[in-house]
Amino acid sequence: MSACIRVSAIREALANEVPRVLRPAGQRAAVAIVLRDPATGAEVLLIERSRRVDDPWSGHVAFPGGRREPTDADDLATALRETREEIGLDLARQARLIGQLDELGAVAEGRAIDMVIVPFVFELAEPSPLCTSDEVSDVFWTPLGPLLSGETKMTYCVESNGQVAEHPAFRVQNRVVWGLTQRMLTCLVGALASRAPQEPAPRRVSS
């Protein structure tokens, strides 16, 4: 049975983390890992990207985010702007920043590209209706407990240039989470597993 994770425990775990910083790249991007804390345990917000020919991550399960624009003051401003544009969530007003994960080098279609991605972690302070842009086909919440316990782990096979490669992945609500998003989630639950206390998951009582 998966543990009941609380956002307060995640906050404490991230307070002790020093995120890895990569050397400057040609492009930068940022994503927002948004958490909420219902009675059943912490949940993380994920999006499913629309299928677009100009998007190397077309159709992937991901976090809201995107490339840094010249008008963005910094990487955090990118995460805030992209989240607002993609799902209508104003993190500056409706959430608080609780940490940052390791910077990651971007990979698209099996190839490393000259881009650094910065993941920021937020705690949602108030409920908010979400409104997706045409870049997003779906947005949903999923519990962190099963990710931490390992019960959602799987291997995902991807064919590229005539070769099939196996990738670590999570199965979440009949969707496969792999690639950059899987790496970020692994970093998040890794910090939690090493430092954060857990509570037994509440039992469901049938009426």
**CA pair distance 168, 185, nearest whole angstrom:** 11
Q: Residue 201 domain-assigned?
A: no
C-beta atoms surrounding 33 within 10 Å = 25
Q: Is residue 183 part of a domain?
A: yes
Tell me, yes or no, if the pTM score tops 0.85: yes
Structure-block tokens of residue 190: 């890794």
H or E, element range at 67:
strand 65-67
User: Residue 205: its pLDDT value, please?
Assistant: 41
SS3 83: helix
Q: What is the pLDDT of residue 202?
A: 45
Count structural domains, the chain.
1
pLDDT computed for residue 55 by the predictor: 65
Assess contact for 124 and 74: CB atoms under 8 A.
no
Secondary structure (DSSP) of 68-80: PPTT-SSHHHHHH
The residue range of the domain holding 62 is 7-147+178-195
Asked if residue 167 belongs to a domain, the reply is no
Report the C-alpha gap between 113 and 25 in whole angstroms: 9
Assigned domain for 76 exists? yes
Q: Quick check: is 203 in a domain?
A: no
Backbone angles phi, psi at 70, to 5 degrees: -55, -25
For 32, the token pair is 């927002």
Those residues whose C-beta lies under 8 Å from the C-beta of residue 84, and which sit 6 or more positions away, are 90, 91
Q: Is 37 helix (H, G, I), strand (E, B) or coil?
A: coil
In a domain, 158, yes or no: no
- The CATH number assigned to the domain holding 57 equals 3.90.79.10
**Nearest 5°: CA angle at 90, between 84 and 91?**
110
Q: What pLDDT, in 10s, does the model give residues 82-122?
A: 999 999 999 999 999 999 999 999 887 667 889 999 999 99
At 195, the pLDDT band (50, 70, 90 cuts) reads: low
Asked, for residue 56, whether it belongs to a domain, the answer is yes
Partners of 27 in the beta sheet?
115
Residues 14, 98 contacting (CB under 8 angstroms): yes
- Assess contact for 144 and 187: CB atoms under 8 A: no
Give domain status of residue 207, yes or no: no
The overall average pLDDT reported for the chain is 88
pLDDT above 80 (res 58):
no
Any idea what the Cα angle at residue 55 is, between residues 90 and 168, rounded to 5°?
90
Cα 104 from Cα 89, distance rounded (Å): 24
101 against 54, higher pLDDT: 101
